[in-house]
């Protein structure tokens, strides 16, 4: 029987009893069900909870004695290929250890994880695409870890907040005015540059409300420079992938990077 595809049974780990990763969730339920179908746990779905507990850990270690503790990518690949042996259940021999109930449980968890992982960001101009759907084309000169996109190319065009933000630091750009802001829902930090004027530090701007206007400066193509910093979400020194020299060839969108992180 063929291995269950990653699309049908997406990875939702890592899981462990005490260490890093998740400790509770639908994947633990699915693995208890699979271990029981493989003969390593007593069949008692009415009493199973969603904790990755010692009984499940022991069952996984008996099934996969060469594997590492918990549930990582190695066991993920193995369980997608696991089938029930005739010695355990002749009537079900050859069936996948992961039945449709297991698959449904994990798909539900994965969908929930994706909703949590991807922030709800809107456009930077009225009628524009969500900031999530931009690929970042370059680093912000002189400001590390704020990879950026250049957008909103019309002088005088209103720049709007992609989410509810607070201006936390004044800045400047060459040319124009600039500021730092932080998303109050997502924790993402932004650097907005080349504006006519920047809002005052401490100002809170609602999603879709005006941040400023694109400036027009002699010898300079009008645009908004939007730098995006994810250190509050991913850890110190971490940043989104970005292109160089304004090329986005091979660079995933912000949305895709959040989905895959």
Whole-angstrom distance, CA of residue 234 vs CA of residue 244 = 22
Question: Which pLDDT score is estimated for 251?
Answer: 97
Question: Which pLDDT score is estimated for 178?
Answer: 98
- The tokens describing 77, both together, are 């690949």
Long-range contact pairs involving 43-47 (C-beta distance under 8 Å, separation at least 24): none
Residues of the chain with pLDDT under 50: none
Question: Which pLDDT score is estimated for 153?
Answer: 97
Question: Which pLDDT score is estimated for 139?
Answer: 97
pTM score of the predicted model = 0.62
Q: Which residues contact 50 (CB under 8 A, 6 or more apart)?
A: 24, 25, 26, 28, 29
Question: Which pLDDT score is estimated for 244?
Answer: 93
Question: Can you name the residues that pair with 195 across neighbouring β-strands?
Answer: 177, 214
- The tokens describing 91, both together, are 């009537």
Closest among 135, 139, 185 to 161, alpha carbons compared: 185
At residue 171, the 3 state secondary structure works out as strand
Question: Which pLDDT score is estimated for 196?
Answer: 97
Domains and CATH numbers, the chain: 26-117 (no CATH), 131-260 (2.70.70.10)
């Amino acid at each position: 029987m063929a291995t269950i595809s990653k699309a049908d049974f997406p990875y939702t780990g890592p899981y462990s009893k005490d260490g890093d990763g998740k400790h509770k969730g639908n994947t633990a339920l699915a693995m208890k069900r699979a271990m029981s179908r493989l003969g390593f746990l007593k069949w008692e779905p009415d009493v199973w909870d969603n904790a990755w507990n010692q009984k499940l850990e022991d069952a996984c270690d008996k099934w996969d004695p060469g594997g590492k503790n918990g549930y990582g990518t190695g066991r993920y690949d193995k369980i997608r290929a696991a089938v029930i042996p005739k010695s355990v259940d002749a009537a079900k021999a050859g069936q996948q250890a992961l039945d449709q109930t297991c698959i449904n449980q994990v798909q539900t968890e994965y969908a929930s994880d994706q909703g949590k992982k991807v922030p709800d960001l809107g456009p930077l101009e009225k009628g524009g695409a969500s900031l999530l759907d931009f690929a970042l084309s370059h680093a912000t000169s002189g400001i590390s870890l704020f990879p950026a996109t250049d957008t909103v190319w019309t002088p005088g065009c209103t720049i709007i907040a992609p989410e509810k933000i607070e201006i936390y630091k004044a800045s400047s750009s060459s040319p124009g005015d600039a500021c730092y802001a932080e998303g109050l829902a997502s924790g993402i930090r932004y650097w907005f540059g080349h504006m006519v004027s920047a809002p005052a530090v401490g100002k809170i701007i609602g999603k879709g409300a005006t941040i400023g206007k694109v400036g027009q400066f002699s010898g300079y193509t009008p645009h908004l420079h939007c730098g995006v910093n994810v250190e509050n979400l991913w850890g110190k020194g971490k940043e989104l992938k970005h292109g160089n020299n304004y090329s986005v060839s091979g660079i995933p969108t912000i949305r895709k990077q959040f989905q895959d992180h």
